[in-house]
Structure 1
Amino acid sequence: MHRILIVDDEPLIGQGLNSLLASSGIGIEAIYVAHNGYEALDYIRMEDIDLLITDIQMGAMSGIELMHQAKLVRPWIQTIVISAHETFQYAQLAMRLGAKDYLIKPLDGIQLLDSVRNALLKLEKRSKSREETIDTLRDSFRVAEPSALQTALLNNLLSDEANSMKPSSIEMHKLGIGLDGPYFAVLKLRLLTRTASSAGGPPSERDAQLLRYAALNITAELLAETERESVVFYSGADELSIVMQWDEESYENTSASKLDQLDMIGRSLHRSMKRYLGLTTIVSISQIANGLQSLVLLNKQAIQALRWSERHPDHDVFYYGDFHESLYTKEETSEDELHAQHNRIAEGAKAYIDRNYAQKGLTLHEVAQNNHVSPNYLSYLFKKTNGMNLWEYVMKLRMEESRRLLLETDMRRYEIAERVGYESPEHFSKIFKKYYGISPSELKK
């Protein structure tokens, strides 16, 4: 059963799509309707939305910007874009952000339902046991494994061994490896196949190899969906390495942060391995650097980031730039020092939210940027330190202030909604009732 969010600033279209989907017979648990991007983001933050159906032109926040913000919150969310304009630029931007379809108004109901079914197929939850999954892996995946020569060449390219001769770009192209860059990053996936839990215990050696092959396929498929140039290969018995690359044009395109893209890929990989293979993974992400020669340094960064999982066993995706070398490379660093470091970051985020919670466009990315860490790491530290996630804290402040204003002033509902950061009084009322169990008007009485 799936949860679908419809976003359109024309109420009649939103209602029509809601009715069409509700009577379609598709396995839908809940349908939510929002009238602008800000409302939509609240639903995405609060509900486990599987599919976003959004208009592309909606006033203050466009459908493109909504897609980008939605991916930061839930990188795996599926999206269908609807538009009154057959504009190639819009369609191209939507597809780059992972839209599964781009439909033109007036909508054809049958076409929309077919598009929804296709998007939801990718999200079907597998109920098979790990053993059943392993038995079907050979038939399910088609990506060819890198040859032994390709794998050796790629690992040599990342190695810091003295006197190792690095292959040239021309030599790699001859062997079917395209690494032209000139900008690169390295990601690593540590597959915990040896400790995979099931009634039957850890997998056999054969099954572990098959799981590793499946992980390679899932990684390659996910990266193909994001349209990011990359090379995936084995770098250990239970480890995959990914070399991401950007050419000059795509790197200079500032419409989306490259580090945000890497973070989304890392979180999506971790979730996919758990969801489809029952595998726990640790993902590490290097910084971005220029030149093929930088891969040695980037590989070291990814290895170091993997090691930090020993200090943070309750975290899954590690970006090298989140950690202060002076603190984390000292083996004698005490838990008290680490705790103080975490508190400083979390308290800095909390103070920033205290000052800006009523801002309509406030995002996790903005708070993270202000504290010089990735959104993923900030989310982890904030919840660990404060016992609630960052957006729950934003909502708590908004709801407490709105309750105070309702009880202590004569301000109207639309004025209070505006004061605490909501785009419309109707949306504010929905959130208020969900939070307190009664509507603003009922509280006022």
Structure 2
Amino acid sequence: MYNILVVDDEPLICKGLAGLLNASGLGIGKIMTAASGEEALDYIRMEDIDLLITDIQMGEMSGIELMHQAKIVKPWVQTIIISAHETFQYAQMAIRLGARDYLIKPLNSEQFLDSVRSVLLKMDKPLPRTEEVLSGGQGYFRMEEPPPEVNEPLNRLLAETVEHPDEPYPEQPYYENIGITGPYFAVIKVKLALNGADGERPFPERDIPLMQYASLNIIQELLDRELDARVFYAPDRSINILAQWSEEAYAEQHANRISQLEMIGRSMHHHIGKYLKMDCTVGISQILKGLQFVHVLSRQADKAMLWAREHGDYHVFYYGDFSWHNYARDPNPDELSTQSNRIVDQAKAYIEENYCQKGLTIQEVARRNHVSPNYLSYLFKKMTGFNLWEYVVKLRMEESRSLLLHTDLRRYEIAERVGYESPEHFSKIFKKYYGVSPSDLKK
């Protein structure tokens, strides 16, 4: 059963689409509606959402921005965009962010349900190439493995230390011939759980090449949608990814490339687990300019994965989340724990000071603490027992309850004071939190 969130600032449209979905006979669990991007984000942060259906123009936060924020929180959430404008630029932006469809108002009921049905049917199917691999098929989507003449030089590029990094890389012409041009690069490493926790293999030795190959196909399929990258086997049976950007691509405005790499990493982990029933750990480097620094990026990705020793229940690690400069050697468990506690304490202090701020986001809290939003969310939950956004809501609800009981402020004034864009959104959250509406509590 799938959970669907419908977002439109016109209540009649939300009600109409929810009614169509309820009567469709599709395998739908819950249907939620929101009247703004901010309200929708609260649902996405705190509920299990499979499909987001959103209008593109909604005042403070557009459907495109909502879709982008949703992808940061949960990269696997699928999206259908609806719009009153048949504008190529909007459609192009939506498709680039991974929208599954772009529908024009006024909506045709059959077309709308066909679009939703198509998205839901694809959710439980492996990605096309992976489906071919797992079924042993030889169809159109079957992909060739990286040939040794490409695989080996790429691994050598990741391993070699350059003595004079200011000089041109000696083999640069060769790499340009195989499409490695950069000049900006990042390295992602995917360590497959080919051994169980007790050292035993979770599947027979003969199946390991197939699992590697299927993982490679999943990764390549995801990257084809998102990034210019080369995917190849590492000597230790893991999978290496060399991502690159041209000068023009790197200069694009509003492109948070580290967030993009993290979203891709989380999607890799999610899809490999979903389709292959196999765990993996992902290490992500920073981005540097110059082919001669690729070996540095490779070491960063390896170092990032060291944190899996401290956080066995977390799977995607970005090198920049950790203060490596504070340690002359790899940090021990006590040092790791101290750094984690410091990050959470700083985040709590910032939230307690700014929870009433309109438009407060997890991304802003993370940026203030110099870590990625997903790693901060994970640490916060682990250390405090609270989901980070639940903690923001808790503080807002406690303050609003106090204002309701001890002042004569109106509902819209209280909503404004505790950081909500609209009184209606505030009332929904309040009733969900306390089980009673603000007006009933006041009485």
Q: Tell whether the structures are fold-level matches, with TM greater than 0.5.
A: yes
The code of the aligned residue for 1:53 comes to: I
Mark the CA change 1:350 to 1:125 in structure 2 (over 3 Å): closer, same or farther.
farther
More displaced, 97-106 or 409-418? Answer: 409-418
Aligned counterpart for 2:362 among listed residues 361, 364, 378? 364
Q: Distance in 2 between matches of 1:223 and 1:137?
A: 22
Alignment-derived partner of residue 244 in structure 1: 243
Distance 1:81 1:419 in 2: 32
Taking the aligned partners of 2:245 and 2:259, their CA distance within structure 1 comes to 14
Q: CA–CA distance in 2 between the matches of 1:387 and 1:310? A: 20
For 2:187, the equivalent position in structure 1 comes to: 186
The aligned counterpart of 1:407 is: 405
User: What whole-Å deviation, never above 9, does each CA across 1:379-421 have from its counterpart, x for those lacking one?
Assistant: 1221222121211110110111111111111222222222212
The aligned counterpart of 2:391 is: 393
Matched residue, 1:378? 376
Q: Which residue of 2 aligns with 1:98?
A: 98
Inter-partner Cα distance in structure 1 for 2:73 and 2:357: 18
Question: CA offsets, 1:207-257, max 9 Å, x none?
Answer: 12111111101101111222x111111113430011111112221112131
Counterpart amino acid of residue 209 in structure 1? P
Q: Partner of 1:193: helix, strand, or coil?
A: coil
Determine the structure 1 residue equivalent to 2:280. Answer: 281
Identity in percent? 59
Matches within 5 A, 1:2-151: 2-124=2-124, 136=135, 138=137, 142-151=142-151
Could you say which residue in structure 1 is the equivalent of 2:232? 233
Distance in 1 (alpha carbons) for counterparts of 2:155 and 2:333: 35
Aligned residues: 433
Gaps of 5+ in 1: 127-131
| Distance (whole Å) between structure 2 residues aligned to residue 205 and residue 324 of structure 1 | 39
Q: 1:152 to 1:252 in 2, by over 3 A?
A: same
Q: Secondary structure at the match of 2:123?
A: coil
CA contact (8 A) 2:310 2:336 kept: no
- d(CA) in 2 for partners of 1:210, 1:265: 22
Q: Within 1, Cα distance between the matches of 2:380 and 2:16?
A: 40
- SS of equivalent residue, structure 1 residue 423: coil
Give the residue type in structure 1 aligned to 2:295.
V
Q: For the residues of structure 1 that align with 2:439 and 2:275, how far apart are their CA atoms?
A: 46
What's the counterpart of residue 129 of structure 1? none
Distance of 2:186 and 2:293 partners within structure 1: 9
Shift of 1:68: 1.1
Q: CA deviation at 1:143?
A: 2.1
Q: Report what 2:316 is aligned to.
A: 317
Distance 2:203 2:197 in 1: 7
| Runs of 5+ unmatched residues, structure 2 | none
Cα deviation for residue 169 of structure 1 reads 5.1
C-alpha separation in 2, matches of 1:294 and 1:109: 54
- How far apart, CA to CA, are the structure 1 residues paired with 2:222 and 2:197? 22
Q: What corresponds to 2:416 in structure 1?
A: 418
Residue 161 of structure 1 and its aligned partner are, at CA, apart by 5.8
Cα distance, 1:291 vs. partner? Answer: 1.6
Alpha-carbon distance change, 322 to 25 in structure 1, aligned in 2, over 3 angstroms: same
**CA pair 213-60 structure 1, distance change in 2 beyond 3 A:** same
Label 1:167 to 1:269 Cα distance change in 2 as closer, same or farther (>3 A).
Answer: farther
SS of residue in 1 equivalent to 2:234: strand
Partner secondary structure for residue 195 of structure 2: helix
The one-letter code sitting in structure 1 at the alignment partner of 2:180 is L
Alignment of 1:195-210 (within 5 A): 195=196, 202-210=202-210
Show the counterpart of 1:341. 339
User: Kindly tell me: are residues 253 and 106 of structure 1, through their superposed partners in 2, closer, same or farther at Cα, counting changes over 3 Å?
Assistant: same
Once the two structures are superposed, the pairs formed by residues 257-336 of structure 1 within 5 Å of their partners are 257-328=256-327, 330-331=329-330, 333-336=331-334
Determine if contact 1:432/1:438 at 8 Å carries over to the other structure: yes
Shift in CA distance, 384/136, structure 1 to aligned 2, threshold 3 Å: same
One-letter code aligned to 2:207: D
Quote the Cα distance in structure 2 between the aligned partners of 1:13 and 1:315.
39
> 1:388 is paired with a residue of what secondary structure?
coil
Q: Please say if residues 194 and 208 of structure 1, whose CA atoms lie closer than 8 Å, have aligned partners that are also in contact.
A: no
Q: CA RMSD in A?
A: 2.4
